[in-house]
Amino acid sequence: MRTVNIHEAKTHLSRLVEEVAHGESFVIAKAGKPVAKIVPLDASDTVSSRRLGFMAGEIAVPDDFDRLGGEAIEHLFGEGN
């Protein structure tokens, strides 16, 4: 695996990213010591497992949602105590 110093990595980042996109890996070294390994992502790693709003329109929240169970809560905690 090829080792690239940090200055070269900063200078040629676009080219290095393109190489990684084509399946190549490399190590970034600082003062000759390896600090990071750059490898291509698997296709499954790039897909988000959580999607915001994926059930939009399938769930209905009642208008009085914030008052549900209010009487039971007042009874349990003693209103006015």
In a domain, 76, yes or no: no
44 pLDDT tier (thresholds 50, 70, 90): low
Q: Is the pLDDT of residue 28 over 60?
A: yes
Mean pLDDT of all residues in 35-56: 78
Q: Is the pLDDT of residue 43 over 60?
A: no
Whole-number pLDDT of residue 45 = 59
CATH code: domain of residue 17: 3.40.1620.10
Higher pLDDT: 59 or 28? It is 28
* Tokens 């390896």 belong to residue: 34
Q: Is the pLDDT of residue 53 over 60?
A: yes
Tally of domains within the chain: 1
In a domain, 32, yes or no: yes
In a domain, 48, yes or no: no
8/13 Cα distance (integer angstroms): 8
Sheet strands (E) in 1-81: 2-5, 26-30, 33-38
Print the domain residue range for 12: 1-40
52/31 Cα distance (integer angstroms): 43
Mean pLDDT of all residues in 60-74: 87
